[in-house]
Amino acid sequence: MIEKTDCNKKAGMKKSSAFNFIGLILMAVLCSCLIFSAAIECFADEASSGRQTCYEFLVPEQGDEKDSNGLVTLDASHTDEGYIMLEYTGTAESALVQITIPDASATYTYPLYADGYKTLPLSCGDGVYTITVFEHLMDELYSVVYIAAVDVLLNDEFRPHLYPNVYVDYTAESSSTQLGISFSEQSDSDLDYLERVYEYVIENIVYDEEKAAGDLTNYIPDLEETLETGTGICFDYASLMAAMLRSQGIATKLVFGYSGTVYHAWISVYLTEYGWCDDIIEFDGQSWKLMDPTLGANNKAESVAKYIGDGSNYTEKYWY
């Protein structure tokens, strides 16, 4: 259900007011999401041997529950599946949307452009999410153009981490999806598939130092570009792995936080036998090592294991 708020009545805000935002890149703090055990649905060819390979995929869809003010259209038809869809049709060079999670402990910021609907995850469980859209005026000045509240009751606690979204963007035709099918058909289990995906990414994608040193404000991964060029930054590595795992029915969080003092991206994966694996490069039968594909691609295995250790060098800030 969408509860629309008049921007003119919002405390401390006027529709024509300008707001100064500092640090617009993905600001948030750790949200305490509750994840419960549940089966992960996968549409598969029942005749396949070994691991069930998915040939049909969860895809965000527009629905009938929409709200629009002429500049912004919010589609909240599938909040029970863990996402909203948002379209900006204004004339400003750029816009931003902020999503405040139910306990108000974090606000997620995404760039918006007038180029169609964007899928945004509702990654912190049930409750009321506040959606606020800002239009860019000049320099660091933005104006509020839309506010709404969405009451969310998820069908499945895993759904936000099984669908594509603005940061893990893929379709049935994407190269990452087709690679996933190929690897899955060779895999005996989810763990076997996970290992194949991980090895492929760290062996075939080279860290792009030049891109990493550039302006990454409002950066959004392009998985086709990552695969075509064979290069990427940590965001690209994590997004690519998340796409390949989600498309094969494995719930995967794209995590942002700090690796030591460096702002970084990695992934966390749910396996039915083990639950959420927050530290998963290799499994010796008793313990995992953190699944950080960027670190794995650019360092020797023993160095990775020494740095990762028990995971204390990693601090999660938020996830998608």
pLDDT (tens digit per residue) in 193-216:
988 998 898 889 998 989 989 998
Q: What is the CATH number of the domain that holds 269?
A: 3.10.620.30
Neighbour-count burial of 213, counting CB atoms closer than 10 A to its CB (0-12 exposed, 13-18 middle, 19+ buried): exposed
How much is the pLDDT for 199?
85
Identify which of 236, 231, 291 has the alpha carbon closest to the alpha carbon of residue 267.
291
Q: Helical H runs in the chain?
A: 175-185, 190-204, 209-213, 223-229, 234-246, 293-298, 301-308
User: What pLDDT score was predicted for residue 225?
Assistant: 98
Q: Across the 320 residues of the chain, what is the mean pLDDT of every consecutive 10-residue run?
A: 60 35 28 32 52 95 97 98 98 95 95 96 97 94 97 94 97 97 94 88 89 91 97 90 96 80 74 68 36 46 42 68
Q: Give the other-Cβ count within 10 Å of 269's Cβ.
A: 26
Q: Is residue 268 part of a domain?
A: yes
Q: Output the six-digit token pair for 147.
A: 């506010």
Same structural domain, 314 and 179: yes
Tell whether 91 and 203 lie within a shared domain: no
Q: Does residue 29 belong to any structural domain of this protein?
A: yes
Which pLDDT value is given to residue 28? 29
Assigned domain for 143 exists: yes
Q: Looking at residue 247, what is its pLDDT? A: 98
Segment (H or E) for 252: strand 252-259
- 298 and 220 both lie in a single domain: yes
Structural domain includes residue 101: yes
CA 286 → CA 283, 289, 308, distances in Å? 7, 10, 16
Using CB atoms within 10 Å of the CB of residue 305, give its burial: 0 to 12 exposed, 13 to 18 middle, 19+ buried.
middle
**Strands 95-100, 83-88: pairing kind:** unpaired
| Residue 21 confidence (pLDDT) | 30
Map tokens 């707001």 to a residue. 19
Q: How many domains does the chain have?
A: 2
pLDDT at 182: 97
C-alpha span between 18 and 131 (Å, rounded):
18
Reduce the DSSP state of residue 306 to 3 states and report it.
Answer: helix
Residues 156 and 188 in one domain: no
Regarding whether 191 and 153 lie in a shared domain, the answer is no
